Structure 1
Amino acid sequence: MKITLDELQTLIAVVDTGSITAASAQLAQTVSATSRSLSRLEEKLETTLLRRTTRRLHLTEEGSEFLLQARSIIHSVDQAEEQMAARRNRPAGRLRVDAATPFMLHVIVPLLDGFSTRYPEVQLELNSNEGVTDLLEKRTDVAFRIGTLKDSTLHARPVGVSRLRILASPSYLERYGSPSKPSELAQHRLLGFTQPESLNDWPLHDAQGNVVHIEPSTASSSGETLSQMALAGMGIVCLSDFMTHEHRRSGALIELFADTKLDVRQPINAVYYRNTALAARIVCFVDYVIAALKNKPFR
């Protein structure tokens, strides 16, 4: 029979991406090569693993059972490679990293070149999600989360903290004026989040001493989108320093209520499952991020 690892990886890639075309891109090969590899595997097994329609692929019952074995085999090979690399003090293997888009763009991406130079045998796979993702479901090794953690099954390593600030562009302030007290925010265009609602609690106290909760004029699930809107003069926003410190330094965004705002700092953690055998590649990546961010201005 002589099934190859490439054929197993092809099956896994097709299932995970949902199409032969997407799997081909992930595997860096042609669509025809991916299709042939899948067909060879089915011929060797003398069974149909996937039913193909014009819109999607469906695993057969035999395909579902075989996929579990295929994943187990690939995982075992990855572990064996990693153990040998660890003996040489050279972390290796695929590392799947998840973070919200702003943190990925402003914090993680600038560090990747240096990390890859130091650890060339670690293959990074980056995914961005605005909400909290299931690490097991998304097959994620380590995720960076901002704010208070709620999942007690996760192990967390503190990466840093980032202050919240209320900001607007010079063009917005020139056009609409600058609010001098929290009650005046109601007369302004406010940019906020669709969810969770807690992100629309701004670091200010109202006249009664309560934390100010804003009703956004325009809302988005993405902090990066809100940042770009604020830069375009579309309203006042409350965002974390890790994604705005360069804009504040250049004067593209101006801080409001600097003397009266509350000192609210969001914790940033690297998280992974407690029952995960902590791979060398996870340790080296988290250590690298923590060391690189040690003296960042948003800490």
Structure 2
Amino acid sequence: MKARSDELQVFVSVIESGSISAAAEQVGQTPSAISRTLSRLEAKLETTLINRTTRRMDLTEEGKFFLEKAKQILAQMDELEERLSLRQQVPSGRLRINAASPFMLHAVVPYVAEFRRLYPDILLELNSNDLIIDLLEQSTDVAIRIGTLADSTLHARSLGSSPLNILASPAYLKQHGTPATVEALASHALLGFTQTESLNHWPLRHAEGDRLQIQPAMSASSGETLRQLALAGEGIVCLSHFMTHEDIRLGRLVVVLPEANSGHRQPIHAVYYRNSQLALRIQCFLDFIQKKLAGYAA
């Protein structure tokens, strides 16, 4: 059996206070309990630490050696607890974030400078992956996921939602015309996703419901690739507002069929392993990003 920290504390208290009774008062135990702890400690170490008589206590050579090391261990534990306490008060440490490339590029990267000014002791590590990853395998603290979450053992926190817009570049619309009805989309080049079939259901009201399944003329696995294709005038696309709001504001992309949009929004979640207490650095990041998303969620 190994010595425990409370046994080390009792041993040091006995030596520093000069008697078992004084140590008992110091640590809030009875003298008999202190005596039993010392005996148990000596039995574990298989050596005598203190020569005890009715009048005095003397440390053995082994006891002198053990006292020095015990003090060092207890001091290190105190320092560790203090450092952990400070980390709970001041966000610090490495924070590994994983998100799909569009979210990373448009909803995280633009605000990194501000976040670092607010939390200079947090070391950001940003990783992009358009597929769902294993957080443990990828050493990730937080992953941002867009869309409906599948059942998971991970804890999820909602960061809000983002509208979906049907978009095209002014150059495309000038060359091919602006569709006036949902049905008119059939004669246009539509840009869609190669994966996740639900992403090719556009939020448009039509005769058969409020979601339109499209057949893409060109497909890509990444929303950022589709955005670039739309900017290049290659077709009409359906993308989330969080990654296109600046394009719309600057006129690089134009909203198509706004009156037919059924208003579907993509949920945005942060997922992480369940912990009894979420690390402060993670809380700070999630609060920060949630506020930024709220700023252009409409």
Normalising by structure 2, we get a TM-score of: 0.69
Q: Secondary structure at the match of 2:237?
A: strand
Aligned partner of 1:288: which letter?
A: F
Q: Secondary structure at the match of 2:183?
A: helix
Cα gap change, 1:215/1:284 in structure 2, threshold over 3 Å: closer, same or farther? same
Q: Spell out the pairing of 1:151-190 with structure 2 (5 A cutoff).
A: 151-190=151-190
1:98 equivalent to 2:98? Answer: yes
Alignment-derived partner of residue 285 in structure 2: 285
Q: Spell out the pairing of 1:140-289 with structure 2 (5 A cutoff).
A: 140-209=140-209, 211-275=211-275, 277-289=277-289
Cα gap change, 1:117/1:287 in structure 2, threshold over 3 Å: closer, same or farther? same
Q: Secondary structure at the match of 2:113?
A: helix
Quote the offset at 1:186 in angstroms.
1.8
Quote the offset at 1:150 in angstroms.
0.9
Provide, for residues 112-142 of structure 1, a one-character-per-residue CA deviation record: whole Å limited to 9, x for no partner.
Answer: 1111112111111100011211111111100
RMSD of aligned Cα (Å): 1.9
Q: Which sits farther off after the overlay, 147-156 or 186-195?
A: 147-156
Q: Is the 8 A contact 1:245 1:298 kept in 2?
A: no
CA distance in 1, matches of 2:138, 2:90: 26
CA distance in 2, matches of 1:159, 1:235: 30
Alignment-derived partner of residue 298 in structure 1: 297
| Max Rg structure | 2
Provide, for residues 1-39 of structure 1, a one-character-per-residue CA deviation record: whole Å limited to 9, x for no partner.
Answer: xxxxxxxxxxxxxxxxxxxxxxxxxxxxxxxxxxxxxxx
Q: Is the 8 A contact 1:82 1:93 kept in 2?
A: no
CA distance in 2, matches of 1:81, 1:214: 58
Aligned partner of 2:209: which letter?
A: G
Provide, for residues 180-207 of structure 1, a one-character-per-residue CA deviation record: whole Å limited to 9, x for no partner.
Answer: 2222212111100011011000011332
Aligned partner of 1:208: which letter?
A: E
Sequence identity percentage:
54
Cα gap change, 1:276/1:103 in structure 2, threshold over 3 Å: closer, same or farther? farther
CA distance in 1, matches of 2:83, 2:283: 13
Q: Is the 8 A contact 1:97 1:126 kept in 2?
A: yes
Quote the offset at 1:82 in angstroms.
6.4
Aligned partner of 1:103: which letter?
A: F
Provide, for residues 97-119 of structure 1, a one-character-per-residue CA deviation record: whole Å limited to 9, x for no partner.
Answer: 01111111111111211111121
Q: Is the 8 A contact 1:192 1:220 kept in 2?
A: yes
Alignment-derived partner of residue 52 in structure 1: none
Q: Is the 8 A contact 1:141 1:282 kept in 2?
A: yes
CA distance in 1, matches of 2:143, 2:176: 40
Q: Is the 8 A contact 2:192 2:216 kept in 1?
A: yes
Q: Is the 8 A contact 1:82 1:91 kept in 2?
A: no
Q: Spell out the pairing of 1:2-151 with structure 2 (5 A cutoff).
A: 83-86=84-87, 89-151=89-151
Aligned partner of 1:228: which letter?
A: Q
Q: Secondary structure at the match of 2:272?
A: strand
Q: Secondary structure at the match of 2:260?
A: coil
Structure 1 gap segments, 5+ residues each: 1-78
Aligned partner of 2:84: which letter?
A: Q
Normalising by structure 1, we get a TM-score of: 0.69
CA distance in 1, matches of 2:91, 2:174: 53
Q: Secondary structure at the match of 1:157?
A: strand
Aligned partner of 1:86: which letter?
A: R
Aligned length: 219
CA distance in 2, matches of 1:298, 1:114: 20
Aligned partner of 1:161: which letter?
A: S
CA distance in 2, matches of 1:99, 1:164: 18
Aligned partner of 2:170: which letter?
A: P
Quote the offset at 1:277 in angstroms.
4.9
Provide, for residues 117-175 of structure 1, a one-character-per-residue CA deviation record: whole Å limited to 9, x for no partner.
Answer: 12111111100011211111111100111111113312111112110010111110111
Alignment-derived partner of residue 57 in structure 2: none
Cα gap change, 1:91/1:208 in structure 2, threshold over 3 Å: closer, same or farther? closer
